[in-house]
Amino acid sequence: METQPKTSAKDFFINLGAIVALYTTVISLVNLLFRVINKAYPQITNGYNYFGSQSISWPVATIIVFFPIFILLMWFLGKDYQLNPEKQNSGIHRWLTYITLFVAGLAIAGDLIAVLYYFIDGQEITTGFILKILVLLVIASGVFSYYLFDVLGKLTTQKRNIYRIVALVVIIASIIWGFSVLGSPRTQQLLKHDQQKASDFQYLDSQIRNYYSNKGTLPKDMEELSSGDYYAPNRIDVQTKKPYVYKKTSGTTYNLCADFNKASDDKNALNSPYYYEDVGSWSHPAGTYCFTKTINPNIYYKTGPSVPIY
């Protein structure tokens, strides 16, 4: 009767660490590619769009840390299996291998179900949808085939090296594609500054409208707005350290101005659906730009202090 090889604490944690590193790398890679696809092939929606999380910094950083950890731990396991072949049949190794096969198989099946559902349901299959399906199918198939060869005892050293090289090429290509579509880390930093400015303007605009609803007039300047109980965070541009520019142009119109690093992507431009008055989007070109805003006095009535009609 064949006896199961004894699993030490070292074997347990190396196997577990390798699987955790694999899952983390795969999830981060899928996250990275989905964000790039969303940017390159955005979905067309009829609702409000917001500044979604377009940064690839987190998935790229996670891959850079966890992929080498996975390769290193798998290298340790490979060396150990060469010296002690019986350990490849240890309980912890087989359990984690079969769990990974099960998860990868579910991902492949889910992929195929999604394609069939969209086809049978008559929904439009966009380029972005096809690319996401291919991403999941290729990655899940790669993981499934690797561990299937392992279970069948056909995962030779040469095959392990081939899988490692292919995985490295895919990861490097994905990171390069991500930076080419979404921009370099410096570009990402500039875009975050612009997003913060647009967000600050949205909140500042709401306080100006609250001022009008209570006073029946626009504030003359930022100081007059600040004198009341009208909270508006970050009235100073954190990038340039200069105050945002507010200028009253008439009884119902005003400008909000700032310096922007990059032209905004209209597909992801911040909109303001929360107010009873439509204030439009905050899309902008690069450089100094002023948003022209208009109050609609017809939605307010006056009984003493002006009160907005909801």
Look-up: residue for tokens 């559902």? 117
Which is nearest to 82 in space by CA: 94, 92, 71, 74? 74
Whether the Cβ atoms of residue 15 and residue 36 lie closer than 8 Å to each other: no
Band (pLDDT 50/70/90 cuts) for residue 275 is very low
* Per-residue pLDDT tens digits for 107-162: 889 888 888 888 888 777 888 889 999 999 999 999 999 999 988 888 888 888 89
* Helix, strand, or coil (residue 280): coil
Q: Phi then psi for 125, rounded to 5 degrees? A: -95, 105
Place of tokens 């009984």: 303
Is pLDDT above 80 for 258?
A: yes
* pLDDT score, position 231: 59
d(CA 206, CA 200): 10
Q: Rounded CA gap, 276 and 310, in Å? A: 6
Q: Are the C-beta atoms of residues 281 and 260 closer than 8 Å to each other?
A: no
pLDDT tens digits for range 149-206:
988 888 888 888 899 999 999 999 999 999 888 877 788 788 888 888 988 898 888 8
Per-residue confidence at 32, pLDDT binned at 50, 70, 90?
Answer: very high
What is the Cα–Cα distance from 16 to 9, expressed in whole angstroms? 10
Measured torsion, CA atoms of residues 269, 274, 275, 280, in degrees rounded to the nearest 10: 10
- The DSSP result for 244-265, as a single string, is PEEEE-SSSEEEEEEEESS---
pLDDT beyond 90 at 80:
no
- In this prediction, residue 46 carries a pLDDT of 46
Using CA atoms, how far residue 67 sits from 2, 34, 286, in Å, is: 35, 18, 37
> For the chain, what is the mean pLDDT?
82
What are the sequence ranges of the domains in the chain? 9-183, 187-308
Q: What percent of the chain has pLDDT over 70?
A: 83
Residues in the chain: 310
The DSSP secondary-structure symbol of 236 reads: B
In the chain, which ranges are continuous DSSP H helix? 9-40, 57-83, 91-120, 127-151, 157-182, 185-215, 222-227
Whether 221 contacts 246, CB under 8 Å:
yes
Distances (CA, A) of 166 to 87, 160, 184, 264: 26, 10, 24, 36
Helix (H, G, I), strand (E, B) or coil at 89: helix
Give a three-class secondary structure readout of 97-157.
HHHHHHHHHHHHHHHHHHHHHHHHCCCCCCHHHHHHHHHHHHHHHHHHHHHHHHHCCCCCH
- pLDDT for 300: 63
pTM above 0.85, yes or no: no
